Amino acid sequence: MTFAEHAAKSVSDARVLVQIDIGNENREWVNCGAGLWYCHFDNTYPEVGATGDSLLNGFTAQGFGEVASMIVDSVAQTSVASLGALTDDTEAFYWDSAARKIYVCLINYDEPFIHTIVLGIAYGFSFDEFVPVGSSQFFEGRLLGSPQVSQSRDPLFWGKLRYTVGGISVINTDGEYDTFARDNDIYGNEVRILYGYKQLDIDDYVKIHSGTLQSVTVSEEELQIGFADKRMQLTKPIQYSCTALNALDAIVAILVTSYGVIYNETYFDTTAWAAAKALVPNITMDMKDVGSTIDVIEEICASIFGLFLINPDNRYSFKIVDTSTSALTTIVSTDILNRHEIKYDPSEVISSVKVGYDKNWDSDYVSPYTFVTDTTQEAATYLKYKTYNQKTIFTLLTTAAKAASFGTTILNYAKDVHGIGELVVPMSYYSYGVADIVNAEIARETTPMLGSTMTTVTKLEIISKAYNLRENNITFGYRIV
């Protein structure tokens, strides 16, 4: 039975798995092929000699559990499913769980000794003690409450997705984790939350979040671990310049230069990235001051009505906010688990927009932009809502035509009141997220709330997503399109 089939059942033995990686630098490597190196955690290397051989001086057995991640010189590597998938351009590793061996093949067939290689040894937690089907990892039954994972964006601030935040609590009444934060290299390491079912192979579990560990609080009763998505780590100071470059190409260039990533499937959701790239304009930048990487990226996003995202599989992705696109699915009324409450707030309406473009990067003036102003909706908006509200937006766009087009997009999105509410739905809707467009049957028990028949659907933009993993459901915040 597949994940989807389990998720569609009214009663299933759902399982939540949390993995926390602890960083351990490893310098014990033995060559086993052209550019191929491995470490055997039981310290057995027959091609070199017996334990104690002078060639193995300093090598020791390593009582580690599962290796779930690897970092080489601060660059995260990708886990591959077979030894044959390792090449010198994959920036990947292969963990043979049964044999307790980890293999690497570094860029340019480098020897591992000239790099800093940190293995992410996974600690596992669940609500019940559990070894998933197809896994050798034991998950301690120490989870408390419900792991918190949420993501949202403010509809009035384009380009900025609030950081995905979350946390877990682990039983510590026996003192097992009293010195966890002191004794281990934990900060900035990866935290993963997987969701599946008891009968499901671990390879078929859904990864609903990958983040980085941010904080630890230890008490006599519990260990609390806070985490957020890896955009919070994009703080390296940069000074970036480009001329009439596609906005998404500029973001790639920044990430490649600052963090050594490669534009491939390892680091990017290239399908989503390419689709968004085809829709965005060129930008120009010539920074005179230094700014953090994430701030520069978000400045680019604010010019193109898009969101820079981190996927649950920890890859960079991008979405253009476009409410005119077709709905990806329909959430039927029988899947909506909460009662409806819809808020309408005219204070969020924009009556006109002033867009800054063609920035003069050398100017000492307070406002080095040229502006185009769109007041075409002002009279109609005032007639409806009895208010004037002009929004000024500073962009990296290069021409008046592009700025005018951007202003039209903003006005079309915000010139009217749009109802905002929440839907609580089953885990079967896990694949939908912020900025996705969906339909929903919003109805009372016997009559619709927003349509004339029970089959009438309402088009929605998802503006937030929060998991309740104890109750096996998701809360979507929505904005009526």
pTM of the prediction?
A: 0.85
Q: Which band of pLDDT confidence, cut at 50, 70 and 90, is reported for residue 338?
A: very high
Q: Which band of pLDDT confidence, cut at 50, 70 and 90, is reported for residue 354?
A: very high
At 80-114, the pLDDT tens digits run 888 888 887 777 899 988 888 999 998 888 999 99
At 164-178, the pLDDT tens digits run 678 899 999 999 999
pLDDT of residue 53 exceeding 60, the answer is no
Q: Which band of pLDDT confidence, cut at 50, 70 and 90, is reported for residue 9?
A: confident
pLDDT of residue 237 exceeding 60, the answer is yes
pLDDT value at position 393? 92
pLDDT of residue 36 exceeding 70, the answer is yes
pLDDT of residue 50 exceeding 80, the answer is no
At 425-479, the pLDDT tens digits run 999 999 999 999 999 998 876 666 766 555 578 999 999 999 999 889 999 999 9
More confident residue, 451 or 131: 131
More confident residue, 10 or 240: 240
HEC per residue, the chain: CCHHHHHHCCCCCEEEEEEEEEEEECCCCEEEECCEEEEECCCCECCCECCCCHHHCCCCCCCCCCEEEEEECCEECEECCCHHHCCCCCCEEEEECCCCEEEECCHHHCCHHHCCEEEEEEEEEECCCECCECCCCCEEECEEEEEEEEEEECCCCCCCEEEEEEEEEEECCCCCCCCHHHHCECCCCEEEEEEEECCCEHHHCEEEEEEEEEEEEECCCEEEEEEECHHHHCCCEECCEEEEEEHHHHHHHHHHHHHCCCCCCCCECHHHHHHHHCCCCEEEEECCCCEEHHHHHHHHHCCCCEEEEECCCCCEEEEECCCCCCCCCEECHHHCCCCCCCECCHHHCCCEEEEEECCCCCCCCCCCCEEEEECCCHHHHHHHHCCCCEEEEECCCCCHHHHHHHHHHHHHHHCCCCCEEEEEEEHHHCCCCCCCEEEECCECCCCECCCCCCCCCEEEEEEEEEEECCCCEEEEEEEEC
pLDDT value at position 447? 67
